[in-house]
Structure 1
Amino acid sequence: MSSPAPGALTRLVQAQVGDGRPLRIREFAERAVDPETGWAPSKSLVGYIVAGHQVKVTPSLVRAVAAGLDVPLRRVQIAAAEQYLGLILEDASPST
């Protein structure tokens, strides 16, 4: 039996974070700071995201991921909505 494909938020983070990727988990965790609240995910939480585990998604986490990846907030919001709510936006492109 194969495991399910990772969700959109997981794929977005996995593309940049982890072994053999541009950012190590530690580097990403240092960069991933919510600009509104100053909250930052722990290295273990980042590791859970990279591994594809379900995590509690909050606005602070979404903003922190966007900051850590240096991508538009909307892109991370769309990925989180797709993965955790099943919301698919047909007009959403990877460049948003």
Structure 2
Amino acid sequence: MAAVARWLAEEYPAIEAKAQREKALILWLDQTGLRSDASVATGWAPVGKPPVVPKTGKRFGVNVMATISEPFQPRFAVAPVGWVRQRVDPG
């Protein structure tokens, strides 16, 4: 946590000042992937033996990205796994 506190105190003010000068928005981003591997059926088994739970085999996954900014402006995107977006470099 000390490294984060130091970064916030020493480096972030310059980033924030540049964003204000350029009328830019600073976004804090996080990304994760989700899969639908959960068992949706119930089952039983004799004591000492594992239950066999049938599955459909119809699994899917999604990628989720979310950002937040100051002032509080949340944004998010959900896309199928394997979705690749071409990077756009404004500079």
The TM-score normalised by the length of structure 2 is 0.20
Structure with bigger strand share is: 2
Greater relative CO, 1 or 2 (CA 8 Å, sep 6+): 1
Higher-Rg structure is: 2
Structure with bigger helix share is: 1
The TM-score normalised by the length of structure 1 is 0.19
